[in-house]
């Protein structure tokens, strides 16, 4: 698999983002993730967006991080927020999410971020398993979905 940094508005990123939104709708029965995201949020050195391609050059997995600092949504100074982790169904089980996660953590650490944070939900047990097995622990809720009962927030120190 070939993992490449690309802009959040790259056509392959848009395709995978549309797919993850459909998965959110199927799992949660709502409109998908309404968190406002702008391509500039993932531009280095304040973030990074990665896409994994299979041997036939098809985009099969994605993930990004963006800078966060203390604000009224519960973030802390030095946070890097994980966003849009997704692997297409036919490429699951190959370790792509774990590889993307490790690359994003390394990049955020190199950018001076001190903690990686993420929000997921109870309808994504495989995501929760990935994060907890990668050293993430439950933390105080933050972000757009902090008041939702099925929202779960996790954090991992990067230092």
Q: What is the pTM of this model?
A: 0.95
pLDDT, one tens digit per residue, over 68-119 is 999 988 899 999 999 999 999 999 999 999 999 999 999 999 999 999 999 9
125-133 helix and 96-110 helix, angle to the nearest 10 degrees: 50
Say whether pLDDT at 37 is over 80.
yes
Greater confidence (38 vs 31) lies with: 38
Predicted local distance difference test score (pLDDT) of residue 27: 93
Enumerate the domain spans of the chain: 2-157
Any idea which fold 2-157 has? Aminopeptidase (3.40.630)
Predicted local distance difference test score (pLDDT) of residue 95: 96
Predicted local distance difference test score (pLDDT) of residue 29: 87
The Cα 159–Cα 149 span in angstroms is 30
Please state the rounded mean pLDDT for residues 63-67: 98
pLDDT-based confidence at 42, cuts 50/70/90?
A: very high
């Amino acid at each position: 698999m070939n993992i490449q940094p690309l802009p959040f508005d790259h056509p392959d990123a848009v395709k995978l983002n549309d797919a993850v939104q459909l998965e959110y709708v199927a799992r949660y029965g709502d409109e998908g993730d309404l968190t406002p995201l702008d391509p500039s949020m993932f531009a280095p050195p304040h973030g990074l967006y990665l896409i994994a391609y299979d041997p036939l050059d098809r985009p099969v997995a994605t993930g990004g991080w963006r800078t966060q600092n203390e604000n009224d949504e519960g973030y802390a100074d030095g946070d890097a927020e994980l966003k849009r982790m997704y692997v297409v169904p036919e490429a699951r089980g190959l370790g792509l999410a774990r590889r993307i996660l490790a690359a994003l953590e390394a990049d955020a650490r190199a950018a001076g971020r001190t903690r990686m944070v993420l929000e997921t939900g109870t309808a994504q047990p495989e995501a929760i398993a990935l994060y907890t097995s990668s050293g993430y622990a439950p933390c105080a809720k933050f972000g757009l979905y902090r008041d939702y009962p099925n929202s779960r927030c996790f954090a991992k120190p990067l230092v």
